């Protein structure tokens, strides 16, 4: 079974609007972390935001926030006030306490911001 599922291959958003990128995960480990990365066309993966399984509050980093719904095993990324520079691939990832250095990535969502 896939550990990370991103069901939106491509998304479009109007500049200055908010957009939600979906991510669901599968784990039986009570201790895990969820990550979102951005990959522009240049190729480099850029870390955006982290959410721990025991964190009580949803993570926020500037215009990025994570809508963490533990019971539903979802960790959606919300980007507010979209900018043209937000156009990129976005990857959700997870690591579990029991599997050490193993990072599990989704297939990604391609976001295009329309002026």
Kindly state whether residue 85 participates in binding other proteins, applying the rule CB under 8 A. no
Nearer to other proteins, 18 or 40 (CB): 40
CB atoms within 10 A of CB 114: 11
Write the DSSP string, 52-105.
ETT-SS--EETTEEEEEETTTTEEEEEE-S--GGG-EEEEEEEEESTTTT-EEE
CA 2 to chain centre: 16
Give the residue, chosen from 69, 97, 112, 114, that forms a contact with other proteins under the rule CB under 8 A: 97
Nearer to other proteins, 31 or 69 (CB): 31
Nearer to other proteins, 75 or 82 (CB): 75
Nearer to other proteins, 50 or 64 (CB): 50
46 neighbors 22 (Cβ within 8 angstroms): no
CB atoms within 10 A of CB 49: 20
Nearest distance, CB of residue 97 and other proteins, angstroms: 5
Kindly state whether residue 44 participates in binding other proteins, applying the rule CB under 8 A. yes
Name the residues that contact other proteins, by CB under 8 A. 2, 4, 31-33, 35, 37, 42-47, 50, 52-54, 91, 93, 95-97, 100-108
């Amino acid at each position: 079974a896939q550990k990370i599922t991103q069901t939106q291959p491509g998304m479009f958003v109007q500049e200055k609007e908010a957009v939600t990128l979906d991510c669901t995960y599968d784990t039986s480990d009570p201790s895990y972390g969820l990550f979102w990365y951005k990959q522009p066309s240049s190729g480099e993966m850029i870390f955006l935001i982290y959410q721990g399984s025991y964190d009580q509050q949803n993570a926020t980093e500037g215009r990025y926030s994570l809508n963490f719904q533990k019971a539903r095993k979802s960790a959606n990324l919300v980007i507010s006030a979209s900018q043209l520079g937000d156009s990129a691939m976005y990857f959700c990832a997870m690591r579990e306490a029991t599997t050490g250095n193993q990072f599990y990535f989704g297939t990604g969502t391609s976001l295009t911001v329309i002026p």
